[in-house]
Chains A and B, each alone.
Chain A
């Protein structure tokens, strides 16, 4: 079955420190992986995607993600966290031309 897992419900980090939000996937075939961010009472905003090519993908707002095929992971990273990065982050996998499956979400808290 196609799925993504986000093992951490919440991640706490101090402003200015690097952050990592974890995601692992299970898909048959080549994975198409995405990260989205959700602010309270808002829809999801696209951050970045991995389709093919370089394993390190750069996205919006200084975020990047590293695709690791051997570990079936696609962790979201940022070198220096901002308080405004506090939000809910979702990893997603596209399982066919249209259908996406989302992870359970990870709440990121960045403290001043």
Chain B
């Protein structure tokens, strides 16, 4: 079945560092990928929709200058958390949807980001 690979799975870094997370669709082309943030014991919060070859669409309240999204190809989207601070610590999950009207989203295994 469809596989989405997310890397890295765990990041620990100092405050002020910028962190890049990659999301790849391994066996299908994804014109659209999604970035979610999940707080402990909570549901997924959609941050932005990443469109190949165009600007990402951010949800209300999500700072686009803070969370930079690039979707340069049909199989790769990246999320860069710029100048990360402890409040950015969270579990970030990407997903991608295969072409076809009724296809489900396929999720990466997530990235645990811890800012010290």
Q: Which residues of A contact B (CB under 8 A)?
A: 32, 34, 36, 41-46, 49, 51, 90, 97-105
Inter-chain contact B102/A43, CB cutoff 8 Å:
no
9 new A-B contacts, CB < 8 A, other than A97-B101, A101-B46, are: A32-B102, A43-B94, A43-B107, A43-B110, A45-B107, A90-B44, A98-B34, A99-B49, A104-B43
Inter-chain contact A90/B43, CB cutoff 8 Å:
yes
Q: How large is the interface on B (under 10, 10 to 19, 20 to 34, 35 or more residues)?
A: 20 to 34
Q: Which residues of B contact A (CB under 8 A)?
A: 4, 6, 9, 32, 34, 41-44, 46, 49, 91, 93-95, 97, 101-102, 104-110, 112
Inter-chain contact A46/B44, CB cutoff 8 Å:
no
Rounded to whole angstroms, the CA-CA distance of A36 and B95 in the bound complex is 12
Inter-chain contact A43/B43, CB cutoff 8 Å:
no
Q: Interface residues of B: mostly helix, strand, loop or mixed?
A: strand
Q: Which residue of A lies closest to B102 (CB)?
A: A51
A43-B42 in contact given A34-B104, A98-B97 (Cβ < 8 Å): no
Inter-chain contact A41/B43, CB cutoff 8 Å:
no
- Please give, as numbers and ranges, the residues of chain B lying within 8 Å of A105 by CB-CB distance: 41-43
Rounded to whole angstroms, the CA-CA distance of A101 and B59 in the bound complex is 12
Inter-chain contact A46/B106, CB cutoff 8 Å:
yes
- Please give, as numbers and ranges, the residues of chain A lying within 8 Å of B97 by CB-CB distance: 98
- Please give, as numbers and ranges, the residues of chain B lying within 8 Å of A100 by CB-CB distance: 34, 46, 105
Q: Which residue of B lies closest to A49 (CB)?
A: B104
Inter-chain contact A42/B110, CB cutoff 8 Å:
yes
Q: Which residue of A lies closest to B10 (CB)?
A: A41
Rounded to whole angstroms, the CA-CA distance of A102 and B93 in the bound complex is 13
- Please give, as numbers and ranges, the residues of chain A lying within 8 Å of B34 by CB-CB distance: 98, 100
Rounded to whole angstroms, the CA-CA distance of A46 and B104 in the bound complex is 7
Closest approach, in angstroms, between the C-beta of B28 and any C-beta of chain A?
Answer: 13
- Please give, as numbers and ranges, the residues of chain A lying within 8 Å of B107 by CB-CB distance: 36, 43-46
Rounded to whole angstroms, the CA-CA distance of A99 and B43 in the bound complex is 15
